[in-house]
Amino acid sequence: MRAAVTAFCAWLELTPFSRQLQTREWVVPAVQTVHLLAIAAVMGAMLLFNLRLLGLRGTDAPLARVSRRFLPVIWASVLVLLVSGAVMIAAEPARSLLSPAFQLKMVLLLAALALTAATGRPLRHSPDYWGTSRLRGRVARVFGTASIGLWVAILCAGRWIAYMGVR
């Protein structure tokens, strides 16, 4: 598996697109800035949604309305992160694809996205879904806490890529 990823990185960094990115020094910092702005948007929306889920903030608005307001921001920001992240990978493939910190970040991201979907989806059909029983209330608190933890861990893993290096 590692050999295949290494071969893919070697192929990718010789493609004309990657070569262009390597020779234009302003592109990666510009794309990093977009990545950072999208991180701010996703973390802000994620926190406001999960704090409402936990009943700690914004309790004057129904959860379903908070979900309709913030979940689209999360999905749109993740799309921007995906595109900007892909450009950074194309510029320096081995730096991230072979980094355990990057691999961990992707696994955590999948878990965070699954949790976000599992929390938001039931609200579309039943706006009071998480408030209809004590068990659901408890599950919602576990989901909200786990989600905040996962997104913070993704943030740390993302920053860690630059320091961990390739193993």
Interaction site with ligand HEM (CB under 6 A): 32, 35, 39, 42-43, 78, 81-82, 85-86, 88-89, 95-96, 109, 151, 154-155, 158-159, 161-162
> For residues 100 and 164, is the Cβ–Cβ distance under 8 A?
yes
How far, in Å, CA of 10 to CA of 55, rounded?
49
Considering the complex, what minimum distance in angstroms separates the CB of residue 162 from ligand HEM? Answer: 4
Between 139 and 152, whose beta carbon lies closer to ligand HEM?
152
CB of 23 to ligand HEM, least distance (A): 18
The distance of closest approach from Cβ of residue 47 to ligand HEM in the complex, given in angstroms and rounded to an integer, is 11
CB nearer to ligand HEM: give 125 or 167.
167
Q: Which is nearer to ligand HEM, 26 or 60 (CB)?
A: 26
Q: Identity (one letter) of the amino acid at 29?
A: P
Q: What's the count of helices (H) and strands (E) in the chain, helices before strands?
A: 7, 0
- Encoded tokens for 112: 């965070």
Distance in angstroms (rounded) separating the CA atoms of residues 53 and 83: 29
Structure tokens at 114: 């699954």
